[in-house]
Amino acid sequence: MVKYAIKRLLWAVPILFGISVISFFVIRLVPGDTVTAILGAHYNEEQAVFLRTKMGLDRSIVYQYLIWIKGVIQGDFGFSAFTHKPVLDSILERLPITLELAFISLVTAVLIGIPMGALAAVRRNSLIDNFASIWGMLGVSIPNFWLATLLILVVSLNLGLLPSGNFIPLGESLEGNIRHMILPGLALGGAVSAVVMRMTRSAMIEVLDQNYIEMARARGIRKNQILFRHALKNALIPIFTVLGIQAGYLLGGSVIIEQVFSLPGIGRLSLQAITNRDYVLLQGTILFVAGGFVMINLLVDILYAFIDPRIKL
């Protein structure tokens, strides 16, 4: 298992290198640059030349990339001209908020998707199955920003049950933190719950049609024991695959939700970096999220061996 983990980590190196190259060069195709955004309406060619020289933007783009990637390897993601902080410090400051949002969204998806999918598989072609199918289609079709807006209008403004935005740190108030994170978690986890539900239903139907399930029924084993100990356990492998992929997407997909609910996470930080043409900050957030995506999928692959002994890593 250790060899497998090391092998996957080594594969992550060229993947992250490719992402760094693409993000670095594609960002610079956008009109304008950091200096233009800094000077704004007070743009002056003499000042612009001075700032570009000071920030190294007058060098060739290849040279700029080599300097940046060298710093990244050494743990230095650069310095943001707008936050006036090292990029890594800005990311680590916002990271707990994005991780909490992703965690709540994933828990929401699991609590809704797996039970609904399992129940739909057990009671195929019933009213419950039809409802689950409708939810599966709606969940993947509705944009999360539209769902977020709907939740704010109904739950927050009309019913007054939960706050519509802002963030309260865990250290200040546990109850306040949870109340402010429920709606963003539901908005971000809605689509994921639909994906998890559909995968759970398909995996459970496939498992329930296996011969060993029929043998267990013939031996008189209780229905609940068959469903949870035999069927659901063996259906978890494709479900974990989907959860791993979706967990990675949640880190990157939090951009819009964090903006809608005014959450100061990495997603909102990257949006501010785009607005300000802050190349260094945007490159850092993209690479950091990509690294998180790779690590999550590595952990999911390793978990396979614990879920199913037939899998040899």
Domain that holds residue 244: 88-307
Residue-wise pLDDT for 28-74, tens only, equals: 777 767 777 777 667 777 777 887 787 777 788 888 888 888 888 88
Is the same domain home to 159 and 44?
no
pLDDT at 131 over 70: yes
Strands (E) across 81-209 are located at none
Long-range contacts of residues 128-133, Cβ cutoff 8 Å, at least 24 apart: 129/201, 132/197, 132/201
pLDDT at 195 over 80: yes
How far, in Å, CA of 207 to CA of 205, rounded?
Answer: 5
Q: Please list the residues that pair with 89 across neighbouring strands.
A: none
Please indicate, yes or no, if residue 156 is contained in any of the structural domains. Answer: yes
Residue-wise pLDDT for 134-183, tens only, equals: 888 888 888 888 889 999 999 988 888 888 878 888 888 888 888 889 99
Mean pLDDT for the chain?
82
- 310 in Cβ contact with 1 (< 8 Å): no
For 293, other C-beta atoms within 10 Å of its C-beta total: 22
- 15 in Cβ contact with 275 (< 8 Å): no
Please indicate, yes or no, if residue 184 is contained in any of the structural domains. Answer: yes
Is the same domain home to 60 and 150?
no
CATH code: domain of residue 207:
1.10.3720.10
How far, in Å, CA of 281 to CA of 24, rounded?
Answer: 11
How far, in Å, CA of 157 to CA of 159, rounded?
Answer: 6
User: Which of 149, 186, 165 has its CA nearest to residue 262?
Assistant: 165
Chain Cα centroid distance, residue 98 = 9
Structure confidence at residue 23 (pLDDT): 85
How many distinct structural domains can be found in the chain?
2
Angle (CA) 202 206 207, round 5°:
120
Mean pLDDT of 112-131: 87
Is the same domain home to 223 and 281?
yes
pLDDT at 16 over 80: yes
Please indicate, yes or no, if residue 78 is contained in any of the structural domains. Answer: no
Domain final residue, candidates 14, 45, 73: 73
Residue-wise pLDDT for 61-71, tens only, equals: 888 888 888 88
Structure confidence at residue 307 (pLDDT): 63
Is the same domain home to 52 and 116?
no
For 143, other C-beta atoms within 10 Å of its C-beta total: 11
